[in-house]
Structure 1
């Protein structure tokens, strides 16, 4: 079994740091979309593969473009979201790293599965993950 970690293609939140880190729900840039499509050649997927995807638009878009026309499992989970960094329980996540609502994920990415093995409150945009919950 191979385990491959892919972050995401270039996102709008990286274009004018630190100001752009305040963008909520940043999508991929045109360059990021090309990068996501290049993954098809660099790391080709099969129907037997499983993607675990962070619930941010840029990661969902990356997974969608990478796995286009491949019937692999695509599972969206808050346990791999950027909210786990920094690991300081009383700190807030940057606006660009807040997870998007379940309804938006289900609407915009209907072929993706939602991880139902995690507590529902982890899907809350206001939830702060603590070390002992992961």
Structure 2
């Protein structure tokens, strides 16, 4: 099985420097939508694949753009691929940005009913997300998601998330020596086999 991590395209929080990180629920810019649409020339997005999005507007928009030509898609949204800092600082709560707050579970259910919500019963996970969890607290949750993915009857799983989240999962899946210089950037992607 292939897991393909896709970083969302440019969001409005990526252009309004220095106040960019104080934007709550930032959407993709026009450039970001174009960046994501260009991924259709890189990948064969199909109805046989599974799509798992972070609970943010920009990743949901990214998922909807890459699946827009498909009739029946298996689209999920999970707080386990939500924003996550990398590396985790000594006092992560001091570095939380408004742009990395999960879109509310109620709004996802009411506004994005084409997505299947994972971990719906874990209200604490939805409220706090994985952004500030210690590595020891994140590891069993992340491995739980990977183990669930392994049970799916598909050849490709696309995880649409954020630079820090993707880097944390790459480490969880066995890569060593990663740093912020390994971030994918706008609409970047990384493929691996499990």
Q: What interval of TM-score do these two structures reach, taking the shorter chain for normalisation?
A: 0.7 to 0.9
Correspondence 1:133 to 2:137: yes
Q: CA deviation at 1:126?
A: 7.4
Paired with 2:42 and 2:57, the residues of 1 have a C-alpha distance of 22
Correspondence 1:63 to 2:58: no
Instruction: Pick one of 77, 96, 121 that aligns with 2:99.
Output: 96
Indicate the structure (1 or 2) with the bigger Cα radius of gyration: 2
Counterpart for residue 45 of structure 1: 45
Does the CA-based 8 Å contact 1:78-1:122 persist in structure 2? yes
Paired with 1:20 and 1:69, the residues of 2 have a C-alpha distance of 32
Correspondence 1:32 to 2:32: yes
The two structures have a TM-score, normalised by structure 1, of 0.86
Correspondence 1:16 to 2:16: yes
Counterpart for residue 73 of structure 1: 74
* Structure 1 residues not aligned, in runs of 5+: none
Counterpart for residue 83 of structure 1: 84
Kindly indicate whether structure 1 or structure 2 has the higher relative contact order, using CA contacts under 8 Å at least 6 residues apart.
2
RMSD: 2.2
Q: CA deviation at 1:117?
A: 7.4
* Structure 2 residues not aligned, in runs of 5+: 139-194
- The worse-fitting range, judged by mean Cα deviation, of 26-35 and 16-25 is 16-25
Does the CA-based 8 Å contact 2:13-2:20 persist in structure 1? yes
The two structures have a TM-score, normalised by structure 2, of 0.62
